Amino acid sequence: MAAPKEMGALAMLLVMAFLSSGSSALPRQLKFSAKHGEFKILQVADMHFGNGKRTPCQDVLPRQVASCSDLNTTAFVRRMILAERPDFIVFTGDNIFGFDASDAVKSMNAAFGPAVTSGIPWAAVLGNHDQESTLSREGVMTHIVGMKNTLSQLNPAGAHVVDGFGNYNLEVHGAEGSRTENKSLLNLYMLDSGDYSTVPSIPGYGWIKPSQQLWFQHTSSRLQKSYSSKPEAQKGAAPGLAYFHIPLPEHASFDSTNSTGVRQEGISSATVNSGFFTTIVAAGDVKAVFTGHDHLNDFCGELTGIHLCYAGGFGYHAYGKAGWSRRARVVVASLEKTQKGSWGTVKAIKTWKRLDDKKLSTIDAQVLWSKSSTNTQRIL
């Protein structure tokens, strides 16, 4: 756990790093690195940000209690940005903890602050707690969309009947200078998994609604047609990744025998199965789903060729487990080299987690998908 006093030095290092890089305006189009042929995503789940220094931590060791607050969450975000230098940051809900955030705008500005000041493109989806402060779900997402350096969207352009707020897709184009620089090689699907059921006879959490699934189907189909129509395309679809907050009922398919990581609590999905996993399978392009919500679960398990992955709890005001480090998930998609030495299409997608300990330890590295094999590898 990073001490709050480290934050000033970390912030200065962060600013200096990006000033020296010569970065200016935020690129509106995500692209693979021309140098390394990679695209790296940092996932931050369940920050539960409240009122900054005045907000105490939950479930930390006794020696950590006195000095621990939301500022430790902020320090962890900054440490991760410096350590991984991601190309994109995604926040997967419960970004603020509404009941303990006296002003939603101030809380969000502080919570997303490290991403904003880094100059790295970022995006967010909503969890079940984001709207419990001074703004509605629509109000929260509207504020996020208006923040600097974000690629977040309120809802698809022209789609007025999609349930929720924050359903959108982002395309990651090929490396600059390659034949695929104007073509999406990796598609990111962001969805609002809701908060709580509004159906009196159905208790519990929300779910991804039919209108959202229809939007996903149409978007996936459109992207796949565009991908296969290009002369440099190969057979199949560009791989996709889906990010949302509440896990699917299918997350309950895994235990220590068939997953990488740990399952330390129950799967808090909706009490009904909306069929979104079946929709994803039928679409054929999504290789992995990334969620939060259950802070003590950080596993990845494969079901019918799709990995269902938790990030693990990130925020210090969120419930956790004393002595079990807060953590973040990193995903990297890598391009293959063509015979002419240029960058081609995606060859593999891998992931690992980082712990908020003294060394920012890396754990559970694994390959989620590889073009060269129909069977995924468990551990790198």
pLDDT tens per residue across span 324-367: 999 999 999 999 998 787 899 999 999 999 999 999 999 999 99
The fourth-level CATH superfamily of domain 4-370 is: Metallo-dependent phosphatases (3.60.21.10)
Mean pLDDT is lowest, of 225-229, 234-238, 326-330, 362-366, for 234-238
Q: Which residues, in sequence order, are bridge partners of residue 259?
A: 301
* pLDDT score of 99 more than 90: no
Mean of pLDDT values over 14-19: 40
pLDDT (0 to 100) of residue 232 = 53
pLDDT at 18: 40
Spatial separation of the C-alpha atoms in residues 84 and 262, rounded to whole Å: 23
Q: How confident is the model at residue 230 (pLDDT cuts 50, 70, 90)?
A: low
pLDDT score recorded for residue 105: 96
Nearest-angstrom CA–CA distance, 127 and 93: 4
Average pLDDT over residues 251-279: 97
Quote the CA–CA distance of 5 and 130 in Å, as a whole number.
28
pTM: 0.91
105, amino acid identity? V
The whole-number pLDDT of residue 102 equals: 87
Considering only residues 202 and 228, tell me which one the structure prediction assigns the higher pLDDT: 202
Break the chain into its structural domains and give their ranges. 4-370
Tens-place pLDDT, residues 185-218: 999 999 999 999 999 999 999 999 999 999 999 9
Average pLDDT of the residues in 275-284: 98
Task: Please write down the HEC assignment for all residues of the chain.
Answer: CCCHHHHHHHHHHHHHHHHHCCCCCCCCCEECCCCCCEEEEEEECCCCECCHHHCECCCCCHHHCCCCEHHHHHHHHHHHHHHHCCCEEEEECCCECHHHCCCHHHHHHHHCHHHHHHCCCEEEECCCCCCCCCCCHHHHHHHHHCCCCECCCCCCCCCCCCCCCCCEEEEEECCCCCCCCCCEEEEEEECCCCCECCCCCCCCECCCCHHHHHHHHHHHHHHHHHHHHCCCCCCCCCCEEEECCCCCHHHHHCCCCCEECCECCCCCCCCCCCCHHHHHHHHCCEEEEEECCCCCECCEEEECCEEEEECCCCCCCCCCECCECCEEEEEEEEEEECCCCCEEEEEEEEEEEEECCCCCCEEEEEEEEECCECCCCCCC
pLDDT score, position 12: 44
CA–CA separation, 106 vs 124, rounded Å?
16
Is it the case that residue 157 has pLDDT exceeding 80?
no
pLDDT confidence bin for 100, thresholds 50/70/90: confident
pLDDT of residue 54: 94
Nearest to 96 by CA among 151, 152, 31, 141: 141
Q: Comparing 308 with 157, which gets the higher pLDDT?
A: 308
Q: How many CA atoms lie within 13 A of 360 on its CB side?
A: 15
Tell me, what's the pLDDT at 378? 43
Decide if 243 contacts 43 (C-beta within 8 A).
yes
Using a pLDDT cut of 70, give the percent of the chain over it: 88
Residue 15 has pLDDT above 90, yes or no: no
Q: How sure is the predictor about 183, in pLDDT bands with cuts at 50, 70 and 90?
A: very high
pLDDT tens-place string over residues 200-209: 999 999 999 9
231 pLDDT band, cuts 50/70/90, is low
pLDDT, tens only, 311-320: 999 999 999 9
Phi and psi dihedrals of 166, rounded to 5? 105, 45
Q: What is the mean pLDDT of residues 95-122?
A: 94
More confident residue, 168 or 232: 168
Q: For residue range 281-293, what is the model confidence (pLDDT) as tens digits?
A: 999 999 999 999 9
Query: pLDDT at position 242, please?
Result: 98
Q: In sequence order, what are the beta bridge partners of 289?
A: 242, 308
What pLDDT, on a 0 to 100 scale, did the predictor assign at position 339?
77
Percent of the chain exceeding pLDDT 90 equals: 81
The mean pLDDT of 242-265, rounded to a whole number, is: 97
Q: What is the pLDDT of residues 51-78, one digit of tens each?
A: 999 999 999 999 999 999 999 999 999 9
